[in-house]
Amino acid sequence: MAVRSCKIILVIVVALLALISSVGDVIQYSEYLIFYPAQPQVDGSSTAYVGFAGAAGLWHICVVLLEIGAAIFCGGGVWAMIRHRNGSAAQFTRSKRPALIGIAVGFLAWQLSFVTLDGQIMGMWMAAQWSGPQAAYRFLVLVGLIWLIVWRKDK
């Protein structure tokens, strides 16, 4: 029972992280976009990504939707896990599916967004002001470890 309760709490943590991230991304939308045209290039210029503002805005919307999806799936998983916390191991394992999907969607959102697109394609790792990949790695390690703990077989 204690292990199951811990797993439920960990999924709540991911759901809150995804929810707060999505709300923050919506509220701070204009601040997010200012980083694209300001990214320094290898040759020292900083104008190469100005034309990507529309694509960046579209990508930002996709990331917010992925974060909202992660929060919804995690929330549904929490609800299912709470309902089955006193059930058999098989019932509780089945109840974890939405949570595991939500955690995976959150991982996907932050990996694709901050590490792959922002970090590598847009070159944010070169930014003096803010480097998304460093923050994303913390998210990814946290979320990845939580996924493994929740995924672990119950007895």
pLDDT digits (tens, 9 = 90+) for 138-149: 888 999 999 999
Question: What pLDDT is recorded for position 113?
Answer: 77
Tell me the per-residue pLDDT of 79-126, one tens digit each, with 9 for 90 and over: 999 999 999 999 999 999 999 999 999 999 888 877 776 666 555 656
pLDDT confidence of 77, banded at 50, 70, 90?
very high
**% pLDDT > 70, the chain:** 71
Nearest-angstrom CA–CA distance, 40 and 32: 16
Domain span at 17: 2-151
Exposed, middle or buried, 104 (CB in 10 Å: 0-12/13-18/19+)? middle
pTM for the model stands at: 0.79
Exposed, middle or buried, 141 (CB in 10 Å: 0-12/13-18/19+)? exposed
Question: What pLDDT is recorded for position 46?
Answer: 47
Q: What is the number of structural domains in the chain?
A: 1
Residue 52 has pLDDT above 70, yes or no: no
Question: What pLDDT is recorded for position 61?
Answer: 85
